[in-house]
Structure 1
Amino acid sequence: MGRGSDAAGDRRLPRRSRRDLPAGNPDGRANERGARRLTTRTLEEGLMNEHKLSRRTALKLGAGAAALAGLPWMNSAALAADELRAGIAGFNVINTLDPARASLVPEFYVIYGAFNGLLKFNEKMEIVPDLAESYATVDPTTVEFKLRKGVKFHDGNEMTAEDVKFSIERVMDEKLASPNRGKVTAIASVTAVDPYTVRITTKTPYAPLLNYLTNTRTGTQIVSKKAVEAAGEGFGRKPVGTGAFMVKDWKSNESVDMVAFDDYFGGKPKIRSVKIPIIAEESSGMTAILGGQVDLTSTAPFADVPALEKRTSEVKVLKQPGLNTRYFALNVTKAPFDDVHFRRAVSMAFDRNVLVKAAIFGEGVAIPGVLPPSLWPEGKGFHSDYTSFNPQKAKQELAKSKYGPGTEATVIVWGSNWWRRTGEIMVGMVNQTLGTKFQLQAMEFNAAFAKAKAGDYQALVFGWLGLVDPDEYLGEILGSTGFRNIQGYSSPKMDDLLEKARAEMDPAKRRQIYREADLLAVEDMPVLPCFCSNVHNLLRPNVQGFNQLPYSNFADQFAHMTVG
């Protein structure tokens, strides 16, 4: 997961970070007695003071550059002005570059530049044509797309309606088991009317359709039918799209090299090559950009943003409220989280404002529900007692539960930095408030997600970064068939609300239905909503043309960028 996953990407816990966990077992489990002694004030002050020290260290570029010098993606040779070094920071896993199979944020960071969708978001987050030249609604269940003529794939073949039909039906195919399949299950048929006309018909009116056809984390990017059929399972290693850049080389968990595609329909890119190092730690990405080793990073350490914003001669900081939601996923099929009163008690036993202040250093806002505030016209959610810190009510709710003080549970954390701190703070405060014996277990993300998908866990720090439609959040996370529903949560009422909202074409009425669904989520509490964090990018002062969007875009901007 990552800054941008939203539960999608791997921030592996470095060896030294295990020493920073509360004292306990060698596997990273916290000593619950030590955690219970932590007060809200010591949690907040201790974590912030600890990070101030690491920040001072990280900003000493001499030491930072020396530490980075041995990394395999470093290149001390002088670089041409037409080469971009764009670091994906805070992740160390890319499993595939096949859009239909991709699920991790760093995978899509690269996919954005190698592929296109029928549609895309512009700088105002408005949906506009991309591979489609235009589109029109034929009737409430049918949209027709007129394709651009002469668009070439990286293999030289022209893109046609057959490629579009193949690409979307491939994601729809149950046998492929695409993690993005839920976005297209409402589609009844895809018809190639002629070589440059595609008609998509849905089973019922389906409001999210256009969002799910954009070049974002949708999986509906258009692939070459011939290339996929020729490559088979190997397509994810050697992707063929229509994007401004082609994948030249890919070293797993190390780097991706891209080169300009001169036949790109949007015009020949000025940047001729892109080196994309995969940098596990955000702080290392920051040190690399300040030391001149990279030109762009996908994110920045929360604690260092204020200091970086003052270093205008060395770095440009882009920042805005994000379209993400951070939460604790609870396995509602296993004790003790199979009890709704226990889940509610835990939710009221920790302070989300402390998380914002101490885990992400003020770079975000606490949220009362699953949906990020930016999705509401008023820019905020709603108030709920169940997501407000209230020790007295938490204890009262615990008294209604079949579990009580002394209840044990393991909370899985992964990565380092703010993901880990979020788990530390929550466990410490809940144990202190309720007298429970929660423990932390640290592991790398792929292992954590595998356990979660198998239902082999109790609680997990998690998150998701969607698009601009509430269905991307509530449907994915809480729908009975949602790919990111790892909680085992299944509610006929929730599923009915989601289906009703998807079929409602009036935006105001849709928002009201999703408001009801979000309130139901808080009542049932299969996840503990925490906060929405800001989106950041770091750029060298000589880099121009990167337009930051709130869903954490990346390689989709390379075609328009220059390095002066």
Structure 2
Amino acid sequence: MRPLSALFLAVVILLSCSERKRDFVRVGVDVDAGSLDPRLMRDTTAYRVVNLLYDGLIALDASSKPTPALAHRWDHPDDTTWIFHLRDDARFHNGTPVTAHDVVYTFETILDPSLGAPLRSLYTPIAEIEATDEHTVTFTLSTPYAPLLSYLELGIVPRGGEATTGSGPYRLLLWDRGAKIVLVAHDDYWGGAPSIRRIELLVVPDNTARAQAFEAGDLDLIQSPLASQDIRRLAEDPRFESFTSNAPAITYLNFNTARAPLDDPALRKALAMLVDQETILDGIYEGTDRVASSILLPSSWAFESDVRQPQHDAEAAAELLDELGWRDRDGDGFRERDGEPLAIELGTHSEDLNRVQTVEFLQNAFRKHGIDATIRISDWPSFSVRRDAGDYDIILLGWTQLVDPDRVSFDQLHTGGGLNWGQYSNRRLDALLESGRTEDDRAKRAEIYRAAAAIVAVELPYYVLSYQGYHLFTSARLRDYEADPRGMLRSLARSHLAPAP
């Protein structure tokens, strides 16, 4: 076992202030939530906490299948109409009933551009939302919209109330920014009061420190991202329950196509061919993730193995760089063209050591082939600000919650998309992504997304490093927990704590 890190010692000191025989659950998370308003969430911790605080019209089960939640049933009488019938026993944490008017308010505000909702484009096909009575809401769409139901897990907020007041199985007690989020059971929850009365989510950015705190008994649940060596060690420890699955998630390189020289697809191809996926995933990730071939997940009904991005070929990359005019003309070891050096900055966030090591590996590979590669590593909040502002060349990050091919493509790669930080634009791709939303026939949608993925594999606004694996560990104290490959923690509302010895 590696030596205890300074951060781990700090975590132990912090946790030792409370009794080990506690009657609540502690969950370790890698980053703090940026917002607990479901309309403004943009990080994995926010998604997971929001999923405990709020209910959507529907819930997605562990296989991402829509199931009833606030809506106990729904009708789809024609291509552009959805009618949702709400349960009459759901209440917000402040005691007020959940009504159709709250649903209307939630979606009208997320569609208001002034709110700045990161996921607004997921709902723009909604033309009108009407509360036809207290417990019935009708969505009228501007056009048929195939993935709509999968996106209606969005938490419903109360009209005119606090944004952190939901109707989920837990309510917010305390949010100590950067340190912890404390939730307590919602006793009037329509699904029944949770047996676990309190959940503390502790922010432990260092993956190994988080694993060590779990081993010491100070945390009851941890999940990806985790260091590969910690995953192996914990999986062999009989004290813990483990769960491993393929996640609906990717790790990828995002190219800023608005910045020269990365606005050249041919240069992006040359750089992509310097990415040795197998060595990175074997040597750094140690087999926890799988080599990716495109933006489409292998588990998706749209996946096609023949759609492939460039593979590692350093010799071909060097030849292509030469052809593009990027040559070392002054003997300083770096390529230049028209007097401009080929200088690239690589970036990621400091909380994920695997990503940091990957960026360092890529820096060495790029420099070996005459590219003046530098790196910039910062904490997640600073990294996110820079990313959102388009202040980067190439960054390594991930997408999760990929429950539909639209979820990894439209907002990210459509011209003007809210998550299109690299400002990529391709009118043919735009048309395909728009068609993929309106086509109801799954086989036809699959062909559309394969064509879209083929464009991305050639033009490379994204280079997908890996299909992520999902790893979760729970202590013996936590009983009846059912893992969700999306990393959602909703099962805590149905779990129990073992009696104290």
TM range (shorter): over 0.9
1:246 and 2:204 correspond: no
SS in 2 for 1:387: coil
Contact map agreement 1:543 1:562 (CA 8 A) in 2: yes
* Equivalent pairs, count: 484
User: Which of 12, 21, 26 is 1:69 aligned to?
Assistant: 12
Separation in structure 2 between the aligned mates of residue 177 and residue 396 of structure 1, nearest angstrom: 44
Aligned to 1:318: 243
Query: Which residue type is aligned with residue 56 of structure 1?
Result: R
1:112 Cα deviation from its structure 2 partner? 0.8
Separation in structure 2 between the aligned mates of residue 506 and residue 210 of structure 1, nearest angstrom: 15
Aligned to 1:396: 319
1:373 Cα deviation from its structure 2 partner? 2.0
Q: How big is each residue's C-alpha offset from its partner over 1:218-269, in whole Å with a ceiling of 9 and x where there is no partner?
A: xx310111314xxxxxx3xxx1000111100110010011111110000011
Separation in structure 1 between the aligned mates of residue 320 and residue 485 of structure 2, nearest angstrom: 37
SS in 1 for 2:37: coil
User: Which of 236, 244, 262 is 2:187 aligned to?
Assistant: 262
User: Which of 382, 385, 393 is 2:306 aligned to?
Assistant: 382
Query: Which residue type is aligned with residue 475 of structure 1?
Result: F
Superposed counterparts of 1:283-432, under 5 Å: 283-299=208-224, 300-312=226-238, 314-376=239-301, 381-382=305-306, 384=308, 386-405=309-328, 406=335, 407-415=342-350, 416-432=352-368
Q: How big is each residue's C-alpha offset from its partner over 1:190-243, in whole Å with a ceiling of 9 and x where there is no partner?
A: 1111111111111111001001102xxxxx310111314xxxxxx3xxx10001
SS in 1 for 2:77: strand
Contact map agreement 2:481 2:492 (CA 8 A) in 1: yes
Of 483-492 and 138-147, more deviation after overlay is shown by: 483-492
Q: CA RMSD in A?
A: 1.9
Identity %: 26
Aligned CA distance change for structure 1 residues 69 and 306 (closer, same or farther; 3 Å): closer
Separation in structure 2 between the aligned mates of residue 303 and residue 371 of structure 1, nearest angstrom: 28
Contact map agreement 1:120 1:130 (CA 8 A) in 2: yes
Contact map agreement 2:147 2:406 (CA 8 A) in 1: yes
Separation in structure 1 between the aligned mates of residue 443 and residue 28 of structure 2, nearest angstrom: 40
Separation in structure 2 between the aligned mates of residue 208 and residue 402 of structure 1, nearest angstrom: 44
Superposed counterparts of 1:87-486, under 5 Å: 87-88=28-29, 90-91=30-31, 93-214=32-153, 220-228=154-162, 235=163, 239-299=164-224, 300-312=226-238, 314-376=239-301, 381-382=305-306, 384=308, 386-405=309-328, 406=335, 407-415=342-350, 416-432=352-368, 434-486=369-421
Separation in structure 2 between the aligned mates of residue 409 and residue 362 of structure 1, nearest angstrom: 28
1:376 Cα deviation from its structure 2 partner? 4.1
Aligned to 1:533: 468
1:429 Cα deviation from its structure 2 partner? 1.8
1:524 and 2:487 correspond: no
1:452 Cα deviation from its structure 2 partner? 2.6
Q: How big is each residue's C-alpha offset from its partner over 1:136-172, in whole Å with a ceiling of 9 and x where there is no partner?
A: 1110111111100121100000001001111111111
Aligned CA distance change for structure 1 residues 421 and 226 (closer, same or farther; 3 Å): same
Name structure 1 gaps, 5 residues minimum: 1-54, 215-219, 229-234
Contact map agreement 1:360 1:533 (CA 8 A) in 2: no
Separation in structure 2 between the aligned mates of residue 531 and residue 311 of structure 1, nearest angstrom: 27
Aligned to 1:560: 494
Aligned CA distance change for structure 1 residues 352 and 339 (closer, same or farther; 3 Å): same
Contact map agreement 2:272 2:310 (CA 8 A) in 1: yes
Contact map agreement 1:187 1:203 (CA 8 A) in 2: yes
Aligned CA distance change for structure 1 residues 470 and 65 (closer, same or farther; 3 Å): closer
SS in 2 for 1:221: coil
Separation in structure 1 between the aligned mates of residue 66 and residue 399 of structure 2, nearest angstrom: 21
Q: How big is each residue's C-alpha offset from its partner over 1:419-461, in whole Å with a ceiling of 9 and x where there is no partner?
A: 10111122222332x3212111222222223223222221111
Query: Which residue type is aligned with residue 307 of structure 1?
Result: R
SS in 2 for 1:175: helix
Contact map agreement 1:412 1:459 (CA 8 A) in 2: yes
Contact map agreement 1:119 1:131 (CA 8 A) in 2: yes
Q: How big is each residue's C-alpha offset from its partner over 1:45-92, in whole Å with a ceiling of 9 and x where there is no partner?
A: xxxxxxxxxx5335x9xx997553223x554314444x111221x22x
Query: Which residue type is aligned with residue 2 of structure 2?
Result: R
1:329 Cα deviation from its structure 2 partner? 1.1
Name structure 2 gaps, 5 residues minimum: 329-334, 336-341
Separation in structure 1 between the aligned mates of residue 216 and residue 209 of structure 2, nearest angstrom: 10
Structure with higher helix content:
1
Separation in structure 1 between the aligned mates of residue 148 and residue 126 of structure 2, nearest angstrom: 9
SS in 1 for 2:107: helix
Query: Which residue type is aligned with residue 227 of structure 1?
Result: G
SS in 1 for 2:293: coil
Separation in structure 2 between the aligned mates of residue 317 and residue 462 of structure 1, nearest angstrom: 25
Aligned to 1:33: none
1:408 Cα deviation from its structure 2 partner? 1.4
Separation in structure 2 between the aligned mates of residue 340 and residue 404 of structure 1, nearest angstrom: 18
Higher RCO, Cα 8 Å, sep 6+: 1
Q: How big is each residue's C-alpha offset from its partner over 1:458-488, in whole Å with a ceiling of 9 and x where there is no partner?
A: 1111221133100100112211132221111
Separation in structure 2 between the aligned mates of residue 340 and residue 65 of structure 1, nearest angstrom: 44
User: Which of 56, 59, 69 is 2:2 aligned to?
Assistant: 56
Aligned CA distance change for structure 1 residues 381 and 466 (closer, same or farther; 3 Å): farther
Contact map agreement 2:223 2:470 (CA 8 A) in 1: no
